Structure 1
Amino acid sequence: MTTFPFSAVVGQDDLGLALSLAVVSPAIGGVLVRGEKGTAKSTMVRGLTSVLPPVSVVAGCRFSCDPAAPDAACPDAAVHGSAVETRPVALVELPVGATEDRVVGSLHLDKLVGSGQVAFEPGLLARAHRGLLYVDEVNLLPDHLVDSLLDAAAMGRARVEREAVSVTHAAAFVLVGTMNPEEGELRPQLLDRFGLAVDVVASREPSERVEVIRRRMAFEADPTAFASRYSGADSELSDRIAKAQALLGSVELPDEILVQIATLCAAYDVDGLRGDLVTARTAVAHAAWCGRTVVTAEDVRVAARLALPHRRRRNPFDSHDQSQDLEELLDEHAPEEPETDPDDDPTPPEGGPEGDRTEGQGEQTDAETGLVPPQADSRAPDAAPDGGTSPVSAGGDLSSDAAERTRESAGQPYKARLIQVDRVGQGVTGKRSTAITTVGRHLRAVPLDHPQGQGLSVTGTLLAAARDGMELKPEHLRRSLREGKEGNLVVFVVDTSGSMGATKRVKEIKTAVVSLLLDAYQRRDKVAVVTFGGDRATVALEPTTSVDRAERMLGEVPTGGRTPLAEALVSAEQVVRRERARDPQRRPLVVLVTDGRATSGKGALGRAQQVADVLGTHDTPWVVVDAEDPRAVVRLGLAQDLAARLGAEHLALGEVAAATLKNIVRDQTNRIGAA
């Protein structure tokens, strides 16, 4: 199948340069591509292989060993000979739903038991050796696969261990991942393993967008003819990559440049020393890419833009603009360049694989090619046009649709206590509650058709065969039942109407939710937030682990107005139902913070009670946190009645304190586990 030519992609010069440098120097550590959908991320990665020089491998080796230095521990070492073959660089795509055996490889138990020899079937890591491993939607990759990638990326080797059998082989590859940040953040350990990171956005220049449409439609009409039009450009780029690879070992890195890199990384508050190393390697690769044998300050500038922004030390809730701008640091710490004759060191055009712009491409702005995409307007629907706020009384119910509303941001997040469901269930892999999962400690061997069995248990299979005289039969095969940790969904339904009284309570609720969300980010959990006030209930936060986006949205939730309680109950149930359709094994818990009042329209309280009666027949566990003021002369007890209708735990709040909310969730999950 013909792929879209690499050199035909319009406007993604930073991405093209990053990919080119990563293949010139695989020691850089790969490329992470972050951006909105429809920005040619996957198209460009798949087109990269067409411009890569072919590689020489040992003929017949399934692990693509280098003939100049074959791996002595290669499982195919017995068949290594003098024959050499040349083949294109492999691009191996790792599906998000792949099994661990598919990624790292598997062992043939029948041959092991029958002949005593280890028969190993290579996985995707073996196929990617000396090539590219591409993970689309890398932020959605399950933790057990992330662990396998981290091990291979750190050691350059893959290890497969099953019971007492171990196989290891070389697995050095260029890791390329693409992701949409709106769908969740990337695990920090994996983010750190990507040498370079590029943020891509669609151009806002009409002429450039028109050129994108023209080229794509021309490719779809006749892929072969379109590819032939760019074969010359692709060939030139392939030659340039080959020359840069050959020149890489001869590039000199002066001491003053090393000092500049170290000073820059320290000033930019980069964690560890990997950022320094990656920046230095990228600068060397860029010098080779430009045909130079000495690294210059400009090489460091290009390298820093690609290697450092994703390594800055910051709390997930800190502002992106809290530290000194990278460009200012680059200018501040740039060494003085000695005067040279421009004719002595001609520099090829920089900025990406295309070099000079092709006809039809407009000039790019910083928003189009910069590493940080422009921020979208995240104001809530009820925000004033100028982004301002309006005051609201500290107490009492505001029953008018035109009631003024105010905004109260969350306070400083804190470390939340562990929330977990004690009952062992079958859940998605995570780091919170105990469950039967795909990874974890081995409990026991189960028959091959067991619905919860994972992989193959060598010990269980051998024991089953031993009972029949060690003659292995299909019915002797056993799977492993494993107990690990699962991820959960906690849905907070927060009353932000005027009846909630002091804004201090709202702030403490938001602080608790933000803190729990930070804990969920660390534990690979999901948290959702439904707020209700004014004339509607709003899903302020769909189930997510994207903490930056969550914190911004929570800060925009307004308070004041009427209390649409029935709508809030329905919205929460819809969130749970949608998430169950996507994640049927993720167990939910809904925490409703309210005083039980319903003042949105005639008969609002009756509607809320009817909805609660229906939801009480469902299997979703609820907790009702009673926010009614205990000091009031007359207490209505509406929240307690609501809890009874929902079949929920009723807890008096008194004052919404962060510790209170954490203990409520913990106690309720313990109650669910005991049920």
Structure 2
Amino acid sequence: MSTTRVEARYPFTAVVGMDDLRLALLLNAVSPQVGGVLVRGEKGTAKSTMVRALAGLLPAIGVVPGCRFACDPASPDPQCPDGPHLDAAADERPTSLVELPVGVSEDRIVGSLDLERALAEGVKAYEPGLLAAAHRGVLYIDEVNLLHDHLVDLLLDAAAMGRSYVEREGVSVRHAARFLLVGTMNPEEGELRPQLLDRFGLTVEIAATRDPEQRAEVVRRRLGHDADPEGFAARWQDEERALAQHIVAARELLPQVVLGDAALRQITAVCAAFEVDGLRADIVMARTAVALAAWNGRTQVLAEDVRVAAQLALPHRRRRNPFDAPGLDEEKLDETLQQFAGEDPETDPDGDPDGNGPDDSGPDNGGGGGGGQDAPSGPELESSAPESPADAPADQPQQPAAGAPAPREAAPVASDQPYKTRLFKVPGTGQGVQGRRSRAETDGGHTIRAARPSGALQRLHLAATLQAAAPHQLARGRDGRALVLRRDDFRRQVREGREGNLVLFVVDASGSMAARQRMSAVKGAVLSLLMDAYQRRDKIGMISFRGASAELLLPPTSSVEAGAARLELLPTGGRTPLAAGLLRAHETLRVERLRDPLRRPLVVLVTDGRATGARSALDDARRAAGLLAASGAASVVVDCESGPVRLGLAGELAGVLQAPAVRLDELRADTMTALVQTMTTQKTMQKKAA
């Protein structure tokens, strides 16, 4: 008889360093009301290892036998779908760790109803989702920044309210869903919106150590675990047991901890000083400080608890725009704490408030340290409300004489301030991931029609189902009120919403664009379009062409921050290999279609349309533009030509691309609004004159 060998988990206490992350996880283990942890850091830094190891430290829980929702026998959920649980017996099982895959669907998270059985048999058959499985345990989301925003919203709502709600075609199910929420992410792959960041209680920034000795110890332990997982875990058994007992003791002490007025004033003063939005930060800081006091064996919250709580709870709440990095001014924090310092509780000679025992941070816990580290076939145009003053005028570009040596490379030019831009959309209807740019058939949005289901039935279109079944009722021998349904009768809802696209920036950085004031305006325009892409949940890529070639500065990614960083360092000067830039865009899109075939591209070409080199340079550029247009990619040309005399080369190129050409000074949303208002006024005056 064969048995399945279960590999021993990596011990929590065996992880080298990572004191801030260790402390944040333990504080949430003591008090899940803190609101979870968001772990930000580069790949390969033991983020996932520590989260998975934490579940093994948590005490076992009592559950009602047979309950799929892990109800507590001492206090069962009165709304439990498997209830009521009267005089229920008690079983015991380990605390669960539920991992959420990146490609998870909403129905898999909250659970789903068997709509076919509900209609045909009148049975409310509900299949619990991952939120039910995570109740009273740990819910771990790896790469949380790659989840769709509406799914992150759903998870955070459940974590905040402690309940999950399922509403499907008049059937309502709700159940308890209280869990320790932990998300990990690599900022290089894209940021979470500030609104979502704020919903995580604590955040920790981690990076791999640069100390050779520590790195050697990490490798040594990892190799030891891989060679003998069970033996390695046994060597850390005592430390693991002690830490688990410390968590239980801190949980028991937690209700006795007092948050004094002085500490509370410091918490509110710090949140006000750092201008965080709302009051969630104040509440999270208070809960974190209380949990920290309990972890250190005290019943009074001290100023140091408030400081550590601020380091863990505030950095991610300081972001004001997508290009801000989370952070906290330590000097300002200390000044505010000192300014609003009250008297800490009196301590005994051993430094122990109320004589509750030494201020012991427990085994391997990280102590009190924390935190700190346009054409008919081209894109459609829309206008938006203005947000910033008018753009600065651009300088007349200088074109080098034929045969003259290429100008020397100029130092990077700082960009103008970003502004709200016009909306460019890919024409037609796509099927890409949910976003906020182009029309698409998505899981969200409004219902536009009904269709036969191709797999498991989801989002039943009730009216269309009844309409399909009605003509066949006599033939099926219907003899009562119940409707006789067959599988072929069922129809699903087809919904139309918005999708995110791949916005590929192709930026001319040649000498003809190198006037500093003009290039600053160009960079400001691209930065504005980057911000627009961030807000509309797009992926972005960036190509620069100058000198003799084109360079893929940023492969397609969700990290708009990386795009902004590449743009700021973009040098200028040299010839204008326009054809090379367009060919590089064509090749980049070809490769990306293989990776992400449903995401439709939008090429944003930023150029004055000039091409230098051989006499056939312009012809080569037109042929490359025709190749790009033939691939089906939608494009828009941002015409950077300025001055009283214009050659109109960018407009000609836009014609080959079957794309709109938008002048740099027409890119702003307020410019488009003013243009529409002027055209409306002119039409009104013409009607009155007629």
Match of 1:482 in 2: 495
Question: 2-side partners of 1:661 and 1:530: how far apart?
Answer: 28
Match of 2:476 in 1: none
Which deviations, in whole Å up to 9, do the C-alpha atoms of 1:426-450 show, x marking residues without a partner?
2221122221012222233321228
Flag the 1:501–1:238 CA change in 2: closer, same or farther, 3 A: closer
* Matched AA of 1:560: G
* Matched AA of 1:415: K
* Matched AA of 1:5: P
* Matched AA of 1:343: D
Match of 1:651 in 2: 661
Do the aligned residues in 1 keep the contact of 2:55 with 2:96 (CA within 8 Å)? yes
Question: 2-side partners of 1:424 and 1:570: how far apart?
Answer: 26
Flag the 1:110–1:626 CA change in 2: closer, same or farther, 3 A: closer
Kindly indicate whether residue 582 of structure 2 is the aligned counterpart of residue 554 of structure 1: no
Kindly indicate whether residue 428 of structure 2 is the aligned counterpart of residue 423 of structure 1: yes
Kindly indicate whether residue 609 of structure 2 is the aligned counterpart of residue 596 of structure 1: yes
Match of 1:567 in 2: 580
Which deviations, in whole Å up to 9, do the C-alpha atoms of 1:165-202 show, x marking residues without a partner?
11111111111000000000113332111101001100
RMSD: 3.0
Match of 2:68 in 1: 62
Kindly indicate whether residue 153 of structure 2 is the aligned counterpart of residue 147 of structure 1: yes
What is the CA distance between 1:641 and its match in structure 2?
4.7
What is the CA distance between 1:606 and its match in structure 2?
5.0
Kindly indicate whether residue 414 of structure 2 is the aligned counterpart of residue 404 of structure 1: no
Match of 2:3 in 1: none
Match of 1:500 among 501, 513, 517: 513
Do the aligned residues in 2 keep the contact of 1:527 with 1:544 (CA within 8 Å)? yes
Question: 1-side partners of 2:338 and 2:210: how far apart?
Answer: 28
Kindly indicate whether residue 230 of structure 2 is the aligned counterpart of residue 220 of structure 1: no
Kindly indicate whether residue 353 of structure 2 is the aligned counterpart of residue 343 of structure 1: no
Listed as ranges, the matches of 1:121-136 within 5 Å are 121-136=127-142
What is the CA distance between 1:327 and its match in structure 2?
4.7
Match of 2:92 among 76, 86, 91: 86
Flag the 1:228–1:468 CA change in 2: closer, same or farther, 3 A: farther
Match of 1:395 in 2: 398
Which deviations, in whole Å up to 9, do the C-alpha atoms of 1:554-582 show, x marking residues without a partner?
12112222112122112222332333333
Question: 1-side partners of 2:81 and 2:324: how far apart?
Answer: 48
Listed as ranges, the matches of 1:41-440 within 5 Å are 41-78=47-84, 81-312=87-318, 314-318=320-324, 325-337=332-344, 340-343=347-350, 345=352, 346-350=357-361, 354-355=364-365, 371-372=372-373, 395-397=398-400, 400=405, 403-421=408-426, 423-440=428-445
Question: 2-side partners of 1:61 and 1:4: how far apart?
Answer: 30
Do the aligned residues in 2 keep the contact of 1:520 with 1:545 (CA within 8 Å)? no
Question: 2-side partners of 1:587 and 1:652: how far apart?
Answer: 21
After TM superposition, the score normalised by the length of structure 1 is 0.86
Do the aligned residues in 2 keep the contact of 1:396 with 1:501 (CA within 8 Å)? no
Question: 1-side partners of 2:74 and 2:471: how far apart?
Answer: 49
Match of 1:15 in 2: 21
* Matched AA of 1:340: T
Structure 1: gaps (5+ residues): 358-365, 373-391, 668-675
What is the CA distance between 1:336 and its match in structure 2?
4.6
**Partner SS, residue 118 of structure 2:** helix
* Matched AA of 2:409: E
Question: 1-side partners of 2:100 and 2:660: how far apart?
Answer: 47
Do the aligned residues in 2 keep the contact of 1:536 with 1:564 (CA within 8 Å)? yes
Do the aligned residues in 2 keep the contact of 1:20 with 1:353 (CA within 8 Å)? no
What is the CA distance between 1:340 and its match in structure 2?
2.6
Flag the 1:332–1:210 CA change in 2: closer, same or farther, 3 A: farther
Flag the 1:338–1:111 CA change in 2: closer, same or farther, 3 A: closer
Residue identity over aligned pairs, in percent, reads 54
After TM superposition, the score normalised by the length of structure 2 is 0.84
Do the aligned residues in 2 keep the contact of 1:588 with 1:621 (CA within 8 Å)? yes
Flag the 1:433–1:554 CA change in 2: closer, same or farther, 3 A: same
Question: 2-side partners of 1:532 and 1:626: how far apart?
Answer: 16
Flag the 1:260–1:144 CA change in 2: closer, same or farther, 3 A: closer
Work out the number of aligned pairs and report it: 631
* Matched AA of 2:414: S
Flag the 1:128–1:465 CA change in 2: closer, same or farther, 3 A: farther
**Partner SS, residue 136 of structure 2:** coil
Structure 2: gaps (5+ residues): 1-5, 374-394, 474-482, 677-690
What is the CA distance between 1:148 and its match in structure 2?
1.9
Match of 1:471 among 484, 499, 511: 484
* Matched AA of 2:206: V
Question: 1-side partners of 2:366 and 2:285: how far apart?
Answer: 25
Question: 2-side partners of 1:334 and 1:579: how far apart?
Answer: 56
Do the aligned residues in 1 keep the contact of 2:193 with 2:322 (CA within 8 Å)? no
Flag the 1:405–1:286 CA change in 2: closer, same or farther, 3 A: same
**Partner SS, residue 256 of structure 1:** helix
Which deviations, in whole Å up to 9, do the C-alpha atoms of 1:252-291 show, x marking residues without a partner?
1111110111111111111111101000100110111111
